[in-house]
Structures are given as C-alpha cells and as structure tokens.
Amino acid sequence: MTAGRPFPAPLPAPIASVPDNPCLSCGACCASFRVDFSCEELQSRGGSVPDGLAVELSDHTARMRGSDHQPPRCAALVGQVGLRASCGIHEWRPGPCREFALLAPLGRGDEACTRARARHGLAALG
C-alpha cells in the first residue's frame, strides 16, 4: 500500500478488457450468494480485500459484509443488478469471486451463474 492510497496497487483485471462483458452490467452473483474466504486475503493480513468490507468469522475465515443477509447483497456491489452493476473492489476482490463463473465474461455462464441470474429475472448466458 502506498501513502495516500486506501487500497494496494490493483491486480490485473482481465474482466474489464473483454468487449461486451456481461459481468460489467449484471451483478447477480454479488446479490445471490454468501462469500466466505480466507482471512489471509484481508489487507490487515497482507492480502488485498479491504477489512471494512468483511467480517471475520474465525481465525481462518472471513465473509463479505452483506453477503449473508436476506436477500444477500455484497457490500462491495455498486449499482442496480441487471442494469449497471459492478464490484467496487473488483481488483481487490476475494478468491471465491475471482473463481466464480470464469467464462461468464466471455458470455458463457455456468450453473451457478445461471441460478444467480434467474433469481433476478435475467436470462442465462450463452
């Protein structure tokens, strides 16, 4: 982390470079599932996820705030699902978010992506 910057330097973000990436307007996954991850991914432990957006559940597990609410909505989600939604910490998001629906940016969702989109009245991806 550098002086004057609230977050560490951004990690590579290939999702933003994909033309017509449906993930940049969707946000359904961020408003459908609980997001648990290793506490080692928190900034205070040398990772990149801002501590203020997570709750430590144990010495080993953290959860994105809001992702366990009913209905779930990750605290990092910005915008309206299905219209224009994005992750406010995309470059610093935790591992489960990085690994979710890896082909969705290319317009090919998987089963979990399809379930999330259906919960919000959105059609499945290709």
Quick one: tokens of 15? 């999702």
pLDDT in tens, 60-108: 999 999 999 999 999 999 999 999 899 999 999 999 999 998 998 888 9
In the structure, what pLDDT confidence band is assigned to residue 11 with cuts at 50, 70 and 90? Answer: very low
Look over the chain and give the mean of its residue pLDDT values, rounded to a whole number: 88
Of residues 14 and 93, the one with the higher pLDDT is 93
Closest C-alpha among 43, 115, 32, 38 to residue 74:
32
CB 7 within 8 A of CB 48: yes
Tally DSSP H helices, then E strands, for the chain: 2, 5
How far is it, in rounded angstroms, from Cα 82 to Cα 59?
Answer: 35
Of residues 52 and 126, the one with the higher pLDDT is 52
Closest C-alpha among 32, 115, 39, 28 to residue 67:
32
Global confidence as pTM: 0.82
pLDDT above 50 (res 3): no
Domain limits, the chain: 20-119
